[in-house]
Structure 1
């Protein structure tokens, strides 16, 4: 779930975000609130996503410390996010159906 979350976070940020800002945005999502992602893994994934081209990056000059890598969503990344949205929507519907069936089964067995 980390990939689509990163893509969604960067989708409305034309100016991009550096890795730490992506990390901070992830912490605001309910999905990651109780169990935040491994941040070493996050930075590895950002680099891998850059090499796969859903993301691009540039180094920004920082007057208050070392240069930071700023990540931006590419056109390929927007298409990738669109596919993720389709897949997750289908998955959500399947889960809703499964939960409804399971609840029915539990209710039937409790009344028997």
Structure 2
């Protein structure tokens, strides 16, 4: 789903502090989110969120291998996630109403076809 990388990243970071590769692997593991797992898009989004103080990062030099940038949500980030959740719930309500209306129409059309047939 296009435009959905921000809430996905925020949700992943609300669960735990993570580095970029870990976030990328988590995005790839989510069914239906293949177009969210473009590394360039993900890192651009992380930078934008950090500039907006939605998250912060620090270099982790304690592990084996090269240093890795580790990301975590800020208080603003948690608030941002809550706004996304409210918007997603509102969208889901509208989509549910749309689908119910469509199913009603489709059911009526099906009944009319059977009566004609």
What TM-score does the superposition give when structure 2 sets the normalisation length? 0.86
For structure 2, list consecutive stretches of 5 or more residues without a partner in the other structure: 113-117
Aligned residue pair count: 109
Deviations 1:3-40 (A, max 9, x none): 00100001021xx11000011111222231x5443221
Aligned to 1:50: 50
- The unaligned stretches of length 5 or more in structure 1 are none
Alpha-carbon distance between aligned partners in 2 of 1:106 and 1:69, rounded to the nearest angstrom: 52
Inter-partner Cα distance in structure 2 for 1:51 and 1:61:
22
Q: Secondary structure at the match of 2:32?
A: helix
Give the alignment of 1:13-28 within 5 angstroms: 13=16, 16-28=17-29
RMSD over aligned CA atoms reads 1.4
Q: TM-score, normalised by structure 1?
A: 0.89
In the TM superposition, structure 1's runs of 4+ consecutive aligned residues that sit over 6 Å from their partners are none
Q: Structure 1 CA distance, aligned partners of 2:32 and 2:79?
A: 23
